[in-house]
Amino acid sequence: MNRRTPRLIGVAALCAALSAAGQLPLSGASGASGVAGPDRLTGPASRSAVVGLGQGDRVRLTPLGQDGRQVIEPLRSQDGTTPGLLVSTDDHGTTLRATDGSGEPTLVDGTAPTTTRATAADLVELNLDAIARDGRAASADVTVYDVVTGATQAVRRIPGDPDAACSTKSFEDSSCVLVPPGTYSVMAFVNTMPAARPGTARERTVQNVSLVGDPEVAVEASRDFTFDARRARPVEVRTPDHRTKVNADGAMQVGYSRTAANGRKIVRQYRPSAMLDQQFFMEAAAPVRNGALETLTRLRLEAPDIELTVAGRALRPEYYDQVWFSDVITDFPMYDGHDRLRVVDVGHATPADLAGKNLRGAIAVAERTDDLSVAEQSNAAAVAGAALFVVHNDGPGDNDDPNGTGTKLQVPTLRLDRAEGEALKAARGRVEVRGETASHYLYDLVLKEQGSIPKDLSYVFRDRDLAAQVREIHGQPTVDSTFSEAAYQYQPEDTFSISTMYPFRGGARTRVEHRVPDPDTRWTYATVTPQSTYNALFPHPPVLRMTLSDPDLVAYESAGRTTKPVGTAPVTAAPSTFRPMERSGNQMRVAIDGFVDADGNHGTSYSTNSGMSTLLQIRADGELVGETDNLPSGVAVLPAGDSRVEVSFVADNPQPWAELSTHTESVWTFASTTVPAGEVVTQPVILADYDVDVDLRNRVLARGPRPVGFDVRLAHAPGAAASPISDVTVEASYDDGRTWRAARATGRAGGRWHVELPRGTGHVSLRLHAADTAGSTLDQTIVRAWYVAR
């Protein structure tokens, strides 16, 4: 008879089964033991979920910790673009809607808002329209909210369906809403479209976005509301200590929260898809008398990625969106340096236009044409020797349409509006060009106004007044590493956070990041290597990337300087911070993160066709009770009573990007026993925290005859019963584990051990054994832990 191999029970399926049976599912709460409460029955799902928003738009929701907070990641559609998002939160729950989509919002948490209930005789009619900043009729998303009771809230997308009846519905494509008389907040996000597009079009690319309206207005009879974006003022930031610009996708978020007098609250957030001006605007508002008002704008400023100066006049060049021409940022040409270049007018950059032109080292300037794509124009100029290619619009305003996709660019390619393009072509002498592809500083600023919206929304920030984080991105010793990054901010009422995954250009390096001190704004971070793709235009071999996420939410309450390293060697496996090994009854939850760096950033690894392979196995008294080579998490059923449990996780990473931690093996053993009904016990696993003085390439420089040393802290999982560590041995290998030599380990205070390696150079591998007096052990092997140089 064939023996059936035990498999791990899926966490979600197990929780559903236990909930149905009235039993306690394993929770993410730490603590040696505790009485089950309702919060332990409603914890977030342990894995990401993809949610459709209609019309092919999708987002990925990923839980962050155990308090219900989640990260929203807009996913690329087939053309490479991501949807803009409108996030609406109230005391019912949270909905998402694409800014250019149709249909009702998608509920992602809680319950749908209810429709206002009132008799027809009690209702008044509000008619809504919007005007863009250029004076044309505009599209807008309007929220009407009762600021006394919070009982009435209605969202209207205008201009709506002209045939739709005016109603009390909570959401409708309509320019009209029926509400009872009262005091309301009537606010709108108004889109100004590019000059060549219809003013009321709902498309992913907008010129700019304005928050317009009145956060407190008495409504006693039917009336009209016009949301005029021309009344809004720009949100602007100056940073006297550094040259900065809001580069592409740097205008990240604009929104507001409105609290009614009785404490009920709504939150509205707008995350644009593509915005040509990278600028938000807000209309001034007097202080509110009922409840509270708070606006929030998030801007990301860096060194300007490109600058052109003609006779002392600074132009406003922008790169075309890299998504049309590449899948990763390293395949997208950008200008890096400072020079003065001559300008050559190349007409439409047709073969006839380019014939006889000397473009070597020059800026080639062409007019946009429907007959050629931007890539065709640019690459033709590149073949003729151009160092930089600029396209100016052939009509009014700005235009980022590439007129065709799927062709890689050969030189940096910029766009200008028509007037600035003509000024560039008329330039006499050389033009100053400055570009910086990898800014060494970043201002990630959350700007908030409370109670009112001032007329002047200009901010000045000196570095000394901001919280600074020194980001240290570590890479591979001899292989050039690429990275992407995201930072997520949460306000006290937020259960979801939206951010953008940005390319982190320049490889392994440091960058100083500045943020506004604010105890109510909490941050967490994620770093991906190798760089994430933002499109799928070109074939690529399969890859499993290492995503390292900060497990903590941190608020910066005052100006000061902290260090935030990521990717620090050694990278090995450890139990999930969010889902520790816990037992309830005879069921034990196990979740292993295969990518855990020396600074506690966590990420998941699993077997894929990239070559990455993992195997998680769980044994009780030597008997295999669960295993998986997929996502390494699940629930194993242990025998009743006492048993000795072994959890082993093996990972092999032969991918070209991974020079370090090519093979890791971690084995945790410990005594476990049945947990009484209604209780949860964290298992006494030993955890290793390595502290190695590596550089940004994860190398240690051996100095003279002195041995290379490092520290390791050994402790038990938080909340577990802890017995003294009684035995520690370390071995090292300089030939990828074929031969091993003993290292010297010396115990120090606080559970720390100092280890001195035997002499050697190159990639050093480690083999650690640790045991406590209660019989728990950790055996951990890391092949190519870091690099020793002399």
Q: What is the pLDDT of residues 182-200, one digit of tens each?
A: 999 999 999 999 999 999 9
The predicted structure's pLDDT at residue 32: 31
Q: Which domains does the chain have, with CATH numbers?
A: 306-435 (3.50.30.30), 573-789 (no CATH)
pLDDT for residue 81: 83
Model confidence, pTM: 0.92
Buried b (16+ CB within 10 A) or exposed e, 57-75: bbbebbbbbbeebbbbbbe
Q: How far is CA 505 from the centre of its chain?
A: 16
| Nearest-angstrom CA–CA distance, 507 and 737 | 29
Both tokens assigned to 432: 């100053």
State pLDDT tens for residues 556-595. 999 999 999 999 999 999 999 989 999 999 999 999 999 9
CA pair distance 786, 779, nearest whole angstrom? 18
Mean pLDDT of 332-351: 98
CA–CA dist 694, 700 (Å, integer): 5
> Does position 544 have pLDDT exceeding 60, yes or no?
yes
pLDDT band at 689 (very low <50, low <70, confident <90, very high): very high
Q: What confidence category does residue 308 fall into, taking pLDDT thresholds of 50, 70 and 90?
A: very high
Most confident stretch, 29-43, 152-166, 613-627: 613-627
- pLDDT on residue 111: 77
β-sheet bridge partners, residue 524: 488
Whether residue 64 is predicted with pLDDT greater than 60 in this model: the reply is yes
Q: What is the pLDDT of residue 15?
A: 37
For residues 782 and 732, is the Cβ–Cβ distance under 8 A?
A: no
Arithmetic mean of pLDDT, 203-225? 97
Q: How far is CA 61 from the centre of its chain?
A: 11
- What pLDDT score was predicted for residue 119? 58
Two structure tokens written together for 403: 């007129």
Mean pLDDT across 407-411: 99
pLDDT at residue 118 tops 50: yes
Cα distance between residue 168 and residue 157, in whole Å: 14
> Above 70 in pLDDT, residue 386?
yes
Residue percentage of the chain with pLDDT more than 90? 82
Reported confidence tier of residue 30, pLDDT bands at 50, 70, 90:
very low
Q: Report the amino acid identity of residue 546.
A: M
The rounded distance, in Å, linking the Cα atoms of 685 and 682 is 9
pLDDT at 598: 98
Compute CA distances 295 → 97, 215, 258, whole Å.
Answer: 20, 11, 9
Cβ-contact 144, 156 below 8 angstroms: yes
279-301-337 Cα angle (round to 5)? 115
Burial of 52 (0-12, 13-18, 19+ CB in 10 A): exposed
What is the average pLDDT across 137-158?
Answer: 97
DSSP reduced 3-state for 381: helix
Please, which pLDDT band fits residue 120 given cuts at 50, 70 and 90?
Answer: low
Q: Is residue 138 within 8 Å of residue 127, measured between CB atoms?
A: no
Q: In this predicted structure, what is the pLDDT of residue 56?
A: 84
What distance in Å separates the CA atoms of residue 650 and residue 781, rounded to the nearest whole number?
9
Least confident of 157-166, 455-464, 615-624: 157-166
pLDDT of 372 reads 98
Which two three-digit tokens encode residue 732?
A: 């090292």
pLDDT of residue 69: 82
Question: CA-to-CA distance for 122 and 178, rounded, in angstroms?
Answer: 9
